[in-house]
Structure 1
Amino acid sequence: MNQDIFKNNLEKYDDPEMYDHLYDEYQKDLGIILKWANDDNPIIELACGTGRLTIPLAQRGFQMIGVDLHEGMLERARQKAEEQGIAIEFVQQDCTEMNLLVKSSLAFMTGNSFQHFLTNEVQDGLFQSVRKHLINGGIFIFDTRNPIFKELAVVDEYEDKYIDKNGNQVIESHRDVYNHLTQILNCQTHRRIYQDSTLIAEEQDGISLRYSFPQEMERLIAANGFEIVHVYGDWEENELHAESVSMVYVCRVKTD
């Protein structure tokens, strides 16, 4: 697997402290993970980032392994864990080619990280890599955005405003364009940063996100040796329907 596919799609994560500023308090996905967590084996978090979930799970006494490709995000996670006196193994590896010396009963990946796996080949590689690290009957939990056609059918241009970690006003202009042949949404962002109404910096970045459809997901999961235990429309465990924002999958390794 060519890691350049991922490395060229990681601009959004170049400022781990800002990532934490925006997302560290989000915990809606923790509840389902806790339902399936146990003390039998280390729990593996894929695309763990700055440890948003890895750290609170370790605080609850679970042995955690966090895997991510982005060294800057991992360094931030290690720093946070050290400051809180928590022992977590953070590993820089490609999630499609993990080589951990453990087998687990639970692996998970949240934050729609599944959409970073842009081709059929790398999606298969992800599932096979996870399966290799799970015991028979082991659970893999992950989410991905539900492809709502009426939203993807048009070029989407919009603005976001927020206060950054330095107290500056940030205005982001977004332009999202979906390619129906590749099922990939190309998202470009132009960021203007203001200090006391004065423009002090401008930045640009982008990200590409693969959308997969429910029937496609069923086939993908089954073809890679998993069975679906539950599928939800969000992390509150509501039923999946056509307008659901997310698809949350709880999958089990098929037993021989």
Structure 2
Amino acid sequence: MELKKNYYGSLCTEMYEILHEKAPQDELEFYLSYAEKEMSILEPLCGSGRFLIPFLEKGYQIKGVDNSREMLEKLKQKAPDSMVEQNDIEKYQTQESFDYIFISSGSVSLFTDMESCKSILSKMKTLLKKGGKFVFAVDTTANRCPDTDEYKESISVRTKENYELVLKTKSYFDETSHTQFGPGLYELYCGTELLQEERMDFQTHLYELGEMESILKEIGFTTVLVYSSFEKEIAEDNCSEMFLYECSF
């Protein structure tokens, strides 16, 4: 069975929609705080639209990009007129530049190859108007999971068809690369009958304070603020489970 890296397939998307259909209000308000009605806004890695759709409903001009066909199909079911494109963010091309770009939910941590990560962040800068804001979050080393050798059931949910959807995971942290490996096995059951299974090779880079800042400065962002909460408290140590970056040039 193919093991796709950081790709949301059909079962993964189904579970995500059940567990995370709507954005957490504090996180949504954080990203909304940078938006103004006349702005052109881009959300790379928009997924099934839990942030993009509230922006649309509030009248903002927002476009989205995501590599998962399954996720974008969910988004289109909820917002048929949304301006979204299925594409790898590294390959995304547009003549448009944006006043505001945001990547939510720590998704930048999915770019575990650091050269690729620099390339993607650099692309965000090229897509941003001078004086615009690029805002995003990453996971930190405070999110490190205990190492486990065998798959263990971590989540079980019921689908709308009343099937049982189970996620089994294991984890391993590589100290050298700061990569958290979390392969997942999704299984869909009708009673005891296995209907479908799907594997995902989930990997994230866990950051320490100062690590991302040096990358952003190297790329050419001249102002970088680092927060430890959605209330915009300045990050001072590695105890926070996320760092939020507000970047401009």
TM range, smaller chain: 0.7 to 0.9
1:133-172 correspondence runs (5 A):
133-148=127-142, 151=144, 154-156=146-148, 159-165=153-159, 166-172=161-167
Determine the C-alpha separation between the residues in 1 that align with 2:140 and 2:163: 33
Contact between 2:7 and 2:68, CA under 8 Å: does it hold in 1?
no
Determine the C-alpha separation between the residues in 2 that align with 1:207 and 1:90: 24
Q: What letter matches 1:18 in structure 2?
A: M
Residue 162 (structure 1) shift: 3.2
* TM-score (structure 2 length as normaliser): 0.85
Write the deviation string for residues 177-196 of structure 1: whole angstroms up to 9, x where unpaired: 01122222111224455555
Determine the C-alpha separation between the residues in 2 that align with 1:11 and 1:25: 20
* TM-score (structure 1 length as normaliser): 0.83
Gapped runs of 5+ residues in structure 2? none
Write the deviation string for residues 169-214 of structure 1: whole angstroms up to 9, x where unpaired: 4443321101122222111224455555x35457343312122322
Select which of 36, 59, 62 maps to 1:61: 59
Match of 2:20 in 1: 23
Determine the C-alpha separation between the residues in 1 that align with 2:165 and 2:77: 26
Q: What letter matches 2:67 in structure 1?
A: L
DSSP-derived class of the 1:108 partner: strand
Q: What letter matches 2:135 in structure 1?
A: I
Q: What letter matches 2:73 in structure 1?
A: E
DSSP-derived class of the 1:90 partner: strand
Select which of 218, 227, 249 maps to 1:223: 218
Determine the C-alpha separation between the residues in 1 that align with 2:186 and 2:48: 22
Distance 1:128 1:11, change over 3 A: closer
Match of 2:238 in 1: 242
Write the deviation string for residues 126-151 of structure 1: whole angstroms up to 9, x where unpaired: 112111111111111111111138x4
Determine the C-alpha separation between the residues in 1 that align with 2:99 and 2:15: 33
Select which of 8, 11, 14 maps to 2:10: 14
Determine the C-alpha separation between the residues in 2 that align with 1:159 and 1:238: 35
Identity across matched positions, percent: 22
Matched, 1:32 2:30: yes
Contact between 1:172 and 1:190, CA under 8 Å: does it hold in 2?
yes
Residue 60 (structure 1) shift: 0.4
Contact between 1:40 and 1:105, CA under 8 Å: does it hold in 2?
no
DSSP-derived class of the 1:21 partner: helix
Q: What letter matches 2:15 in structure 1?
A: M
Matched, 1:129 2:126: no
Gapped runs of 5+ residues in structure 1? 1-6
Distance 1:201 1:92, change over 3 A: closer
Determine the C-alpha separation between the residues in 2 that align with 1:96 and 1:230: 24
Select which of 101, 105, 109 maps to 1:111: 105
DSSP-derived class of the 2:120 partner: helix
Determine the C-alpha separation between the residues in 2 that align with 1:70 and 1:77: 11
Residue 11 (structure 1) shift: 4.1
DSSP-derived class of the 2:155 partner: strand
State the aligned residue count: 240
